[in-house]
Amino acid sequence: MIIAQLGNPILRQQAKALSTEQWKEYATFFADLESLMLNHQGVGIAAPQVSESLRAFIVASSPNARYPHAPAMAPTLMLNPEIYWMSEEKEKDWEGCLSIPGIRALVPRSTKISVGYEQFDGQKIRCELSGFIARIFQHELDHLNGIVFLDRADSHDYATEAEYRKRLGLN
C-alpha cells in the first residue's frame, strides 16, 4: 500500500459510496489502511489516499511525534460518513497530511460538528464531535470530496514541517 501524494488525480476526485454488503470485500484493505496510518504516525487516513475511491476513512487520534498533543481515541473506521451540522464557531489550527509530507498549514474548521457514518457491521452511528477529533473528521471527509487541507488555508499560513516544529517548540 502506497500513500498517494499531492498531484495524484485520485486526491481530487469524489469517492464513491458502497453498500454494507460491498464493504465486506474490503476487510483486509481496512486493516492494512489502519496499519499504514499508524506506521506513519497519522491521526486519520482516507481510502483515496491509497488510491481507492471509497467513501471511507479511519479516525485514530493519539499522541505521537507528528501530533504530540492529540487526544486519545481508538481507531474508528467510518463508512459513508457525512456531516449533518457544523458550528458557526471556527478555529484555526495546524494540520498536516500524509499525502502532503513536509508541509503544515493553519486551517479554519468548525469546532463542533454533528456527524453520521456506518460501521463495518452496518450499524449506523450518529454523534457529535468537537475539538481535534472534529478537525480530523472534517479533514478526512474533505479527502472523500477531492479537497486537500491546503485548499482551505491561506497561503500565508503554510509552513514547512521544520518551521512548524520550531514554532511549537517541538525540536
Strands 112-118, 124-130: pairing is: antiparallel
The answer to whether the annotation marks 97 as part of a ligand binding site is yes
- Do 60 and 53 touch, CB atoms closer than 8 A? no
Q: At CA 38, angle to CA 96 and CA 144, rounded to 5?
A: 55
CA 145 from chain centre, in angstroms, equals 12
Instruction: Determine which one of 34, 128, 140, 161 is catalytic.
Output: 140
Q: Catalytic: 161?
A: no
- Numbered residues of the known binding site for Fe cation: 97, 139, 143
Q: Catalytic amino acids?
A: 140
- Numbered residues of the known binding site: 97, 139, 143
